[in-house]
Structure 1
Amino acid sequence: MTTETIRFTGANDTPIWGMSNAERLRRMVAGAAKGGQHPADGHVLHANLAYAFDPLLLRLALDTPGSVFRRGDDLVLAHLPEGTDPMAVGDHVTDLAKGEKVYNRQLRKLEVPFARRLTPETRRAIERQSYFGAYKGVTDILTKYLWPELALFLTRIAAQLRMTPNMVTAIGALCCVLATLFFAEGQYWAGMASAFVFMVFDTVDGKLARCTITSSKWGNVFDHGIDLIHPPFWWYAWGVGLAAHGLTLENETFAILMIAIVAGYVLQRLIEGAFIKDFGMDIHVWQRFDSQFRLITARRNPNMVILFVSLLVGRPDQGLLWLAIWTVISLIVHAVRLAQAYAARAAGGTITSWLEQRP
């Protein structure tokens, strides 16, 4: 996709996330091109620089040639044949002022795409809206409820400093390694502090990438690779660190707990992958129960809550036991849900996300 395929109307000197609105739109278009989305043959995009809008609108527009997004009488974005008046009625006209919800498959949520006039007075509000718009609708309880405001503050600072998402990921990775070392030495509170910074930065790097439109293939591999690999090392290091507190577990007990934790973690991930492969969507967006269970399922962040509570009551050894039990329970829930999905399909049913269903 080249600059010849996008036409800007109007002008706007108000920056958003440390860049001009025109630059933001260029990045959005370039990102869509990397994902294989291009204007239809003989078509161009028309974008109004007076408005900052959700990247989802660009993806929707590119999916449907002839589409026009307006807000009242104002053009926001259009995907029309070359030479067509962008204010003319297209084949598919959507008035964003009506607030119709659209399912965002990438972020696993049903949402109203934002489109607002970008002015010095609205800039911070738009940045806030775009930040929360970049949040996954289905995630764990800490990411969803505990630190969104802190992560927003840090994302703004990172954008102002012109940090890249990979820089944030690298700082987080260092904290991840430090947490592992602290846990192995039995310095649990220091490990918790390092882990907390890492977990928050794990949110910041993704939000920074989405808000500044700087996602990259390497960045995704870097970020998700760390997320996928490190949890078992944390839990093993936690068990090793018990020796510093005179709470060393018997070798057989420790081995059983680690097998339950690591095998449960791996198998749960494999079940999630099988669901995506066979049903084309994340298991956590199938039915409302699955989205609610994602809040607390045995992933890193909910597991850290378990270990944090064990520290508060002075029993980090029991924390490892609780973590193992919860991992097994979560594995059973996921296995049952996968079996239920296969059974539903075999009975002639259609497996679709509850987020895509209209009331």
Structure 2
Amino acid sequence: MSAPIRLLGDNATPIWGMTNAERCRRMAEKDGKPLAPGHELVFNLAYVFDPMLLRWVIEQPGTVFAWGRAPVIGQVPAGSDPMAATVIDLSDGRKLYNRQLRKLEQPFVRELTPETRREIERKSYFGAYKGVTDALTKYLWPELALWLTRGAASIGMTPNMVTAIGAALCIYATYLFAYGHYWEGMLAGFIFMVLDTVDGKLARCTITSSKWGNVADHGVDLVHPPFWWYFWGVGLGSWGLALSNQTFLLVMIAVVAGYVVQRVIEGLFIKDFGMDIHVWQKFDSDFRLVTARRNPNIAILFFATLAGRPDIGLIALAWWTVISLVVHAVRLVQAYAVKRSGRPIVSWMEEA
């Protein structure tokens, strides 16, 4: 059952292919958490705001986020004056920690008009970006993914459609790698990696995320990298650069075991400390830019292939996986030591 809501004013200007009223209703329905007894959510349709603010007001009944003298979003007693609640004015530039997206930022609030719509879409799109991620996702293709996200929203594509197209390209890239068609495979993989950004941003911007869509998206992300690296090694024979059986076995052990154990370490950190390992200290956030995940690994292979040595690229990928694993293991041990000493484990972004 969706939370009771009250919409203030009216606004015909569309955003991401829907009215602001529809956007607010979707956010209220998606959250699904009960409000305090006798309370309702209040949305000012003159403004568009970061969905992060909705999560805050649901956790803090009687709180309203405002922009100057205008209420924007809040949870208040039904029928009451929103500005009679505890008001947090965001126009002073304050920053809040977004735990979901792992970043400290000033939540965006903008007045929605035909003149500001494109700027707001751009702001909400970049607001959906994780602050801690790999260098390629963070710096290389955000603008391309924005263009594709807008296009997908304008023609009514769902995030699941984008995920399905990306999954097909991911499988096709695996096939191409197996036959040594590395450039074609990396092109298919590149499009897949961009679409892997688009589906999540489309879901957040249009408020259309779903449990099974999230499972499908993360399932593909989690499973495919070892297959890429294995079939990359298989394809080396087409270049006359096949690794010896012993070397290939050692490389695969390092790549697969390193990948799995690194994921286990990340899971343990979340379980025992309640946050992602990459947001503990600034070093961890900086290391996430280049740690041995799919995108940094494909960059290693790209430059090695550019030099005509995809075999050395795979060996370098294996070494970088081992190094990244050691770094993560050391950080986990250090975190346990800090916990045993009685000091709290807190993200550097929450302390900032």
**Structure 1-normalised TM-score?**
0.97
1:84 and 2:80 matched = yes
Question: What aligned pairs does 1:1-12 form with structure 2 within 5 A after superposition?
Answer: 1-2=1-2, 5-12=4-11
Does 2:56 correspond to 1:60? Answer: yes
What are the superposed Cα offsets for residues 18-43 of structure 1, whole Å, 9 maximum, x if unpaired? 0000000011001111xxx2221001
Provide the rounded CA distance (Å) in 1 between the counterparts of 2:120 and 2:26. Answer: 17
Q: TM-score, normalised by structure 2?
A: 0.99
Pick from 253, 258, 264: which aligns with 1:264?
Answer: 258
The within-5 A match list for 1:203-222 is 203-222=197-216
Unaligned runs of 5+ in 2: none
Q: Does 1:202 align with 2:196?
A: yes
RMSD across aligned C-alpha pairs, in angstroms?
A: 0.8
Q: For 1:103, what is the secondary structure of its paired residue?
A: strand
Rounded to whole Å, the distance in 2 between the matches of 1:222 and 1:55 is: 23
Name the residue aligned to 1:50: 46
Shift of 1:85: 1.5
2:82 is paired with a residue of what secondary structure?
A: coil
Q: Deviations over 1:274-299 (max 9, x none)?
A: 00000000000000000000000000
Give the letter aligned to residue 69 of structure 2. D
Task: Confirm whether residue 26 of structure 1 aligns to residue 25 of structure 2.
Answer: yes
| 1:225 counterpart residue number | 219
Q: Which moved more, 1:69-78 or 1:103-112?
A: 69-78
**SS of aligned partner of 1:69:** strand
CA distance in 1, matches of 2:75, 2:211: 27
1:308-347 alignment, distance < 5 Å: 308-347=302-341
SS in 1 for 2:61: coil
Say yes or no: does 1:105 pair with 2:104: no
SS state at 1:84 partner? coil
Task: Tell me, in whole angstroms, the C-alpha distance in 2 between the residues paired with 1:79 and 1:249.
Answer: 62
SS for the counterpart of 1:120 is coil
Q: The residue matched to 2:252 in structure 1 has which SS? A: helix
Shift of 1:70: 1.1
Amino acid paired to 1:267: V
CA distance in structure 2 between the partners assigned to 1:278 and 1:41 by the alignment: 33
Q: Deviation at 1:2?
A: 3.4
Q: What is the CA-CA distance between 1:273 and the residue it aligns to? A: 0.3
Identity %: 67
CA distance in 1: counterparts of 2:87 and 2:51, whole angstroms: 18
CA deviation string 1:207-230 (max 9, x = no partner): 000000011000010000000000
> Paired residues, what number?
352
Q: Which residue is equivalent to 2:184?
A: 190
**Cα distance, 1:69 vs structure 2:** 1.2
> Counterpart of 2:27 in structure 1: which amino acid?
M
Q: Deviations over 1:130-171 (max 9, x none)?
A: 000000000000000000000000000000011000000000
Equivalent residue letter for 2:286: Q
Distance 2:157 2:17 in 1: 11
In terms of mean alpha carbon deviation, does 71-80 or 103-112 score higher?
A: 71-80
How far, CA to CA, are the matches of 1:130 and 1:191 in structure 2? Answer: 32
The runs of 4+ residues in structure 1 deviating greater than 4 Å are: none
Structure 1 letter corresponding to 2:194: V
The answer to whether residue 165 in structure 2 is matched with residue 166 in structure 1 is no
1:71 aligns with 2:67: yes
The one-letter amino acid of 1:210's match is R
| Alignment partner of 1:251 out of 234, 245, 249 | 245
